[in-house]
Structure 1
C-alpha cells in the first residue's frame, strides 16, 4: 500500500511499481473501482467541460482554450510548466526522484529498471536525430559499432547495405516455382506432381557479395534448418524454396496472389449418439432426448472435470438457456414411457453418466498399444493430407487451420459474458470459399453446397464462415511459416524500425502538449504518454450487450482509473481477451494533474476519461509523423529497441560463459523487456510444486556427485589426503532421511523403466507377428532394481560406496564429478530463470514484439544454437529472419 510520498518516490515515472490489491490509504484521491459499471456513450466528445484543479492557479479553472497565453509565459518557472519548456530536458530520471532506498538489492525489479528505461529513451532520441534527415540537408550518420562493442551509446551493429524495403540489394529477380495456370487436376494438392523449373536462386547467390566470415562456435546453419524443415514433408516432392525476403518488392502490395488452388476445409466428424444405457438424468430420472439436444448435453457432460467452467454461474446460465431453446426446437425431453418432462431447473440436471461414458472411452484410447496408436495416426494423416497444402502463385504453401471448429461450449478467456453458450456445428452452407478463377472449386460434402465462391486476390484467407456465439468471422489462413505470414511479420518489424527515426519528435511533442491549451490536445498527449510508457493498448469501442467489457487506453472509464497522491495512477479494467489488467504506475506530475482534470465532476462512473478522443483520431494524429504509424507500433518498437540496447550494453560480459549461462543472460534481457513493456502474468498454481521438483533434481545430482567422489576413495584411499577431507564431505542439505527417500525413488524409477521397456518390446514383437516375451524375462530384468536396493542398504550401513563400472579409475570418477557439476549448474540456472519468470511472460515479448533478427544476431555472436531460443514452430515462423540474417552479424534493429 502506498501511504506516503517517500514510499511512492521509490520508483521513477514511467515504470510499474506494484501488481496487487491496494487498499485505500489516507492520501487516496479516489477509491478503487471494480470496473464493472456499464459503459456510457461517448457523446461528450467535442463538448467543452470546465475542469478545475486546486493545485493550479485560478486562471486554470477556465476552459483551457480560453486561457491567456501571456499567463502561461509568465508562469514558465512554475511546477505547472510543460516539461518540454524547461531547458528542453526529459522527465526526471529514476536517480533524481528516488528516496529512502538503502540498498540496491531492496529495489523491486521494476524500480531497478526505471533508470535504465530513461537511459534507453535518451539514447533513442539521440539516435533518431542521426537517422532522420533534416529539411535542408541529410545528416550523415556517425560510424556505428557492432553488437560486440560494449558502448552504451553505440547501435547494436553497423548497418548492412540494403534496399529501402529491407530486401537484399543483390536480389534482382523473383524466385519460387512457376505455376501452371491450366492445371485442373482432381488430385490433392499435396499429391500433385511439380514441373521441373529453374529458379534464379543460384543467380541471386552469384550476384550477392560474399558474406563476411565470423568466428563463432559450431551451430546449425541455414542449410541444416532448411533440411530440418523439409524433413516433415519428406513424402512430398522436392521443390525449390521461395525466398521472398530476397525477391524484389511488389509494385502493388494490395494484390496478394495471382493464382490460388486448394481443396477446401475439413469438417468436424458427425455426432455419434450415446449408447441406450447412457442417459442424462433430470431430478434423479433418465430422460430421452432428440439427437441434437443429446449432443448439446454431451458438451456439458464431457467437461465435468473442468470445474472452473462448469461451476461458473455465468457458464451454467448461458448453457442452460441455450439448452432449453434447443429442447423446444427438438420436441423437448421425455421419460422412458414417452411422457414429456419439463426441464426448468439447472440444479436438477445430472450429467455424470455421460461424463463417465466419455472418460471410459478416453482412458481406453490412452491405454491402446503403440502400434494401434500409430495406425490411427496414419489414418488421420491420410484424411488430412488433401487439406494441408495449397498452391499459392504456383508455390506449395502450408495451410494453417484447415479444420472447421468442432461444436461445443464457448469458454472464452477471462470473464467473458458469453462463456457457456453453445457453439453450433458449422455446415457447408455457411462457408464461403476464396479461390482462383481458373482453379477447380473444391467439392462440398455430399448433399451440401457452399454459401458462396469468390475470387478475391486481395484477401489472404481461403475460406470463411460466421460463428454463432459472438457473430465473429472465422478464416482459414496460411500457416505461420508461409510467405504471406512471414511478410506480415517482416512489415510489422520494419515499421517499428522506421519509428526509430521519429520517436524523439513524438515524445517531445506529447510532452509539450500535456500542457496544451485545447483539452482535446491534452487528452491526446496524455493517451500517447500512457501508450508509449506503459504499453497500454489503444482500445476500441465495444457493443457491451454482445461483447465482453474490454477496454484500452482511449476507452478507459471513470471507474477504471484511481489516483493516489502525489503521482500514483492505478489501472483496473478488463483488457484484451477479458484478462484483468491491474497495475499501478508512477507518472510525471503533469500526467497526474491531467488525469485528475479528466475525472473532475460532473463526470461519474461510466463516463469516459478521454471524452474528446477515440482510437481513430489518435491514429490519424500519429500517421502525421510517419505513414502507417498507429498506437500498436509503439509496443513493437519499445520491446525491440529495448532488447537491442540491453544486448549491446551487456554483450561484453558473455565472454567465457557456458551455453547455459548465455541462455540465462538472453532470458534476463528478455525479462527486462517484458517488465518494461508490462508483459506480466499471474503466478501459476503449480509453480511452487515445479520449483520443489527442480530442487529435488538438483539435490539428487549433488547426491550422485558425492557418490562419485566416494568411489574415488574406494579406488585410491590416498586421495583423501591429496584432495582434503572437505572435498569428500556429504553436502549439508543431504541428511540421512532425505537420502533414504531418494534411494527409494531411484529404485522405483528403475523398476518403472524396466517395466515400460518390457511392454514396449512386447508391443514391437506383436506388431512383427512374434511371440511375446515370457513373464520370467520381466522378473529377470527386475533383478537389477533389487540389486540396486541392496547396494543402497549396504552403503547406508558401511558409509562406503563401492566403485562401479568396468575398469574404474580415479580419472574416470573425477570426470564424472565434473559432468555432475555442469548438470547442476544448468539446473540451477533453470531454477533461477523459472523463479524470475513466475510473474513475467517472456513468450509474449519474444514471439510478438521483439524483432526475431535480434535473437539470430545474438545466436551468431554468442555461438549458442538458435534452437535454444526458438522452438521448431518458431524456427519455421521466423525462417525469414534466420536466413535473411544468415551467419552475418552486421544487422541492427
Structure 2
C-alpha cells in the first residue's frame, strides 16, 4: 500500500494534522488518568452469540493475493489463529453512541482462575492478577533487552580491538617476510557442498597412490577381500544416506542468506483430480417434485451441493444458498436447464423448489459402502493410490530429496471460506493445465501435461520456493505447491521467524519507551502510530492489510473504523470487528488511560460510522517505522515475541513434579496463560460436551471397578466392614443401581464387539492369504467369555449385588494393590479432564504451534523428562525437527 494520501480511500471525515493543547486538556477532563502506565489486559474473551456484521466495504486498494487457507504465500509459515468451525449467529447491535457501552450484547465469558491454573480462593481479582503478572514479565523484558545490548556492545568492542591488533602485527612484519596466506584446509562436514549432491551423482574418488614400502597386500586381491571391500562400500553408501537424512541445516548459518533459494530443481508437477462421473440414471435431482435430467456440467454443481446436505451450517446459510444458486443457475442458462422423463424442458428458477435429497442419499450410501470395505480391500486401494502418487511426493532441490507439501490440484467444489465470508457457496471451477505455471530448473526435464493440453508457462524463478502455481476463480488468489512442512526450506522459514522474535527482545524496551512517549505527541500521525503499536504489542492485534472491493470487510489495527471501537469510561475499550478470515474479533480490554484518551480523540466528531480511526497511518508506514529499530521488524513479529517471551518467563519459574500427565498439565497451564495474555481464543468445539461426558464415563467406570474390588475384599474378610465402616463399601457417589445395570450391559456389548472385530480381521487375513474363511460357528464359540460375563452380572444382581472374589489366589493385599493402581488411573484421567475443560475456550494449539518458539517446548520436554510426543504429533515433530535436535535443557529464548 502506498503511503501517499492520493492512494487512500475517500472518507467522510479525517483527523487534523496536529492535536491542540485545548483538545488534549478537554479530553483529560472527560477521561481522567491515574498516571499509571500499565500493560493492557483483556477483561473478557471467548465466543460470542451476537455481533454487528458490517456490509462488505473497501478502502480502495488491493492486498496481497491469499491462498485458500486464508494465508498469503509469504505468510504461510507464520500461520495465525485456527478458524472457528462453529457458525456464529448474529443480531443487530443497538448502539448509536460509540462512546457508550454496547447494549444488549451477549458478552464472552470471563476468563476463570481455573483456566490459567490459579486458585479461585484469592482476594485479588483475576483481571488484576493477570495484569500484575504481565507487568512483571514486561519489566523483566526491559532489563533483559538493556543487558543484551550492553553485552553485544562489549563483544563488538572486543572484536574491533582484536582486528586492530592483528592489523598492527601485520604492519610490523617486513614486506619480504610476508607470505601469501595459506589456503585454508577444508574440513569435511555435513554442510559441505559435496553432501548436497545425491550419492549416485558424485564422481568416483581417484585412487590414492600407495607407497611401495607400505604395501603389504598382494597385487591381486582375493575373492574374500573383494567381497569385504564391496561390503565396506555398501556400508559407506548407507552411512552417506543417513548423513543425507541428518543434514543439520540449522547449524550452517550460511544457508539461505541470499535471495537465490535454489540452484537446481527437479520435480514431476501435479496430480489433477479425476473427471466428474455422472450420477446413475436412477438418481435425479427433484424440481418442484419432478425428477429432472441435467447436463453433466450443471449436475456436477448440484452433486456438490447435494453431497453436503449433512453440513447444515453451510447449506442452511442464506449467503451460501444465494451464491450457490447464482452459479448453478448461470451454468443452467449455459447448458439449457433441465428435462423431465419425457424430454420436456424444465426451467429451474427457484432454489426453494430444488430437492437435492436423492443425490445426498446416493452419496451417503456410497460413503457407507466405502467405509464398510474389508481392511484388506482398503489397504489394496491405498497401496494403488500411493503407487500412483509416489513420483509426485518428492522433488530434487539442489540435489537433495525434499518432500512436496501438496502436489494435488484442488478439485472443483463449493467454496466454503471462513467465518462470514461473503463468497461462501460459490462454485470453484476445475483447474485446467493451461492455468498452471511450472517453476523448475533450466536443465531439468519439464513434466508432461495431460494429453492434449499444455502448461500456461514454464519459469525458472530461483528466488521462489514454489514448484507449481495457478490462479483460482473465487478470489483470484494464487495457489502454490510448496515443499512440505518438514523440508529444509520450510524449516528455515520457521527458524528465521523465531530468531527474528529473539532479536526483538534486544530492542523491545526502546520500542516501548518510544511509543509511550509518542502517545502524547502533538503530531496526529505520531500519536496514531504510537497508539497502534501499543495495541499491537499489548493485545496481539494484527496490523491489518489492504483488500479489494469484492473481499470481506475484514480489518486489523490500522484499518479499524469508527464503529469497531466502543469506549467505556474510564479506561475500557471494546473491540468488535471481523478479523482475519472473516472471524469475529471481540475483546473487552482495559487500556492505559492515555491510549483511551487518544482513541477518544481519533473518534471525535465529525467522524462517524465508516470513517477510519487511524486515518493518518498505513500498515506499510507502520512497518517502515518499526524497521528503524531492527532490520526486518514488522508488526506481526510482536505476536511471536510476546508469546515466546511470556512462555520462557513462565518456564523459568516452573518446577513441575509428579506424574507425566501432571507435568503436561503444568505445561498447558503456562501455555494457557500465554494464550489468554496474547488473546488467542476459540469457540467451544461442537463435540466438547460429548468428549467430557465420555471421559467422565471412563472415570465412573474405574470407580465402579474399585467398588467391585472392595466387595471382593469384603467377601474374603467380612470383618473389614466393621473396621472400615459401611461407607467405604457403598456405591460411589453419583452411581446408582440403574447406572450399574446400564454399565454392565455396555461392558458385555464391548466384549462382544471386541471379539467380533478380531474374528473379522483374522478372516480378512485368511482370504488375503488364499485360505478359507472361518465359519460362523467359530464366532459363536469365541463369544463364550462375553456370555460368561453376562451370566456373572446376572448372578450378582440376583444375589443383591454380592460379588465373589476373582482371579488366581485372591487375597485382600492383592485387591488393595489393585485399588491403588486404579486410584492412579483415576487421578490421571481427572487431571486430563480438568485440563481439557480449562482449554475449551483457549486456543492452545495456536500459541504452541505458531507463536511459542518450539525450542521452548523441547526444553520443557528435556528438562522435566516428558516425552516430546506428549506435545508434538508426528507431523509437528517432523515440522520442528530442527528444534528437537538443536537445543538442550539449558537453552534460553
TM-based fold match above 0.5? yes
1:551 to 548, 555, 560: 555
Look up the match of 2:857. 855
- 2-structure distance, mates of 1:312, 1:246: 51
What do residues 445-467 of structure 1 show as CA deviations (whole Å, max 9, x unaligned)? 11111111111111000000000
Look up the match of 1:254. 259
Q: Which moved more, 1:616-625 or 1:819-828?
A: 819-828
Q: Is the 8 A contact 1:318 1:418 kept in 2?
A: yes
1:305 aligns with 2:323: no
Look up the match of 1:18. 44
Alignment of 1:440-589 (within 5 A): 440-543=445-548, 545-589=549-593
- 1-structure distance, mates of 2:152, 2:728: 71
DSSP 3-state at the match of 2:526: helix
DSSP 3-state at the match of 2:783: helix
1:370 to 371, 375, 385: 375
DSSP 3-state at the match of 2:758: helix
1:128 aligns with 2:145: yes
Q: Is the 8 A contact 1:531 1:631 kept in 2?
A: yes
Look up the match of 2:269. 264
Q: Which moved more, 1:702-711 or 1:330-339?
A: 330-339
1:709 aligns with 2:710: yes
Look up the match of 2:768. 767
DSSP 3-state at the match of 1:629: coil
Q: How far 1:724 moved relative to its partner?
A: 6.7
What do residues 524-549 of structure 1 show as CA deviations (whole Å, max 9, x unaligned)? 01000000000000001222x31111
Q: Is the 8 A contact 2:58 2:553 kept in 1?
A: no
CA 1:341 to 1:529, structure 2 compared with 1: closer, same or farther past 3 Å? same
What do residues 456-488 of structure 1 show as CA deviations (whole Å, max 9, x unaligned)? 111000000000000000000000000000000
Look up the match of 2:90. none
What do residues 508-532 of structure 1 show as CA deviations (whole Å, max 9, x unaligned)? 1111111111011110010000000
Q: How far 1:294 moved relative to its partner?
A: 1.3
- 1-structure distance, mates of 2:259, 2:663: 42
- 2-structure distance, mates of 1:819, 1:344: 67
Q: How far 1:866 moved relative to its partner?
A: 0.5
Q: How far 1:194 moved relative to its partner?
A: 4.3
Q: Is the 8 A contact 1:462 1:477 kept in 2?
A: yes
Runs of 5+ consecutive residues of structure 1 not aligned to the other structure:
24-31, 44-101, 142-169, 182-192, 200-232
What do residues 827-867 of structure 1 show as CA deviations (whole Å, max 9, x unaligned)? 10111011101110000000000001101111111011111
- 1-structure distance, mates of 2:197, 2:673: 51
Q: Which moved more, 1:517-526 or 1:354-363?
A: 354-363
Look up the match of 1:800. 802
Q: How far 1:506 moved relative to its partner?
A: 0.6
Q: Which moved more, 1:333-342 or 1:829-838?
A: 333-342
Look up the match of 2:868. 866
CA 1:803 to 1:577, structure 2 compared with 1: closer, same or farther past 3 Å? same
DSSP 3-state at the match of 2:588: strand
DSSP 3-state at the match of 1:616: helix
CA 1:38 to 1:292, structure 2 compared with 1: closer, same or farther past 3 Å? closer
Question: TM-score with structure 2 length normalisation?
Answer: 0.79
What do residues 176-210 of structure 1 show as CA deviations (whole Å, max 9, x unaligned)? 875669xxxxxxxxxxx8457999xxxxxxxxxxx
Q: Is the 8 A contact 2:433 2:449 kept in 1?
A: yes
Q: Is the 8 A contact 2:46 2:841 kept in 1?
A: no
Q: How far 1:709 moved relative to its partner?
A: 3.1
- 1-structure distance, mates of 2:57, 2:608: 11
Look up the match of 2:132. 115
Q: Is the 8 A contact 2:196 2:399 kept in 1?
A: yes
1:673 aligns with 2:674: yes
Task: Calculate the aligned-residue CA RMSD, in Å.
Answer: 3.0
Look up the match of 2:737. 736
Q: How far 1:132 moved relative to its partner?
A: 1.1
Q: Is the 8 A contact 2:46 2:683 kept in 1?
A: no
DSSP 3-state at the match of 1:321: helix
Q: Is the 8 A contact 2:195 2:244 kept in 1?
A: no
DSSP 3-state at the match of 2:559: coil
DSSP 3-state at the match of 2:792: helix
Look up the match of 1:34. 52
Q: How far 1:569 moved relative to its partner?
A: 0.4
Look up the match of 1:289. 294
Look up the match of 1:385. 390
- 2-structure distance, mates of 1:241, 1:21: 44
DSSP 3-state at the match of 2:733: coil
Q: Is the 8 A contact 1:408 1:424 kept in 2?
A: yes
CA 1:251 to 1:875, structure 2 compared with 1: closer, same or farther past 3 Å? closer
CA 1:38 to 1:865, structure 2 compared with 1: closer, same or farther past 3 Å? closer
Q: How far 1:255 moved relative to its partner?
A: 1.1
Look up the match of 2:439. 434
DSSP 3-state at the match of 1:288: strand
Look up the match of 2:829. 827
- 1-structure distance, mates of 2:477, 2:60: 24
CA 1:587 to 1:799, structure 2 compared with 1: closer, same or farther past 3 Å? same
Q: Is the 8 A contact 1:38 1:606 kept in 2?
A: no
DSSP 3-state at the match of 1:132: helix
Q: How far 1:175 moved relative to its partner?
A: 4.7
Q: Is the 8 A contact 1:178 1:197 kept in 2?
A: no
Q: How far 1:241 moved relative to its partner?
A: 2.7
Q: How far 1:366 moved relative to its partner?
A: 0.7
1:631 aligns with 2:635: yes
- 1-structure distance, mates of 2:804, 2:445: 74
Q: Which moved more, 1:295-304 or 1:668-677?
A: 295-304
1:838 aligns with 2:840: yes
- 1-structure distance, mates of 2:497, 2:739: 54
CA 1:103 to 1:775, structure 2 compared with 1: closer, same or farther past 3 Å? closer
DSSP 3-state at the match of 1:563: strand
DSSP 3-state at the match of 2:551: coil
- 1-structure distance, mates of 2:891, 2:538: 26
- 2-structure distance, mates of 1:645, 1:132: 19
Q: How far 1:780 moved relative to its partner?
A: 2.1
Alignment of 1:90-239 (within 5 A): 104-105=121-122, 110-133=127-150, 174-175=191-192, 178=195, 194-195=200-201, 239=244
- 1-structure distance, mates of 2:331, 2:871: 49
CA 1:632 to 1:689, structure 2 compared with 1: closer, same or farther past 3 Å? same
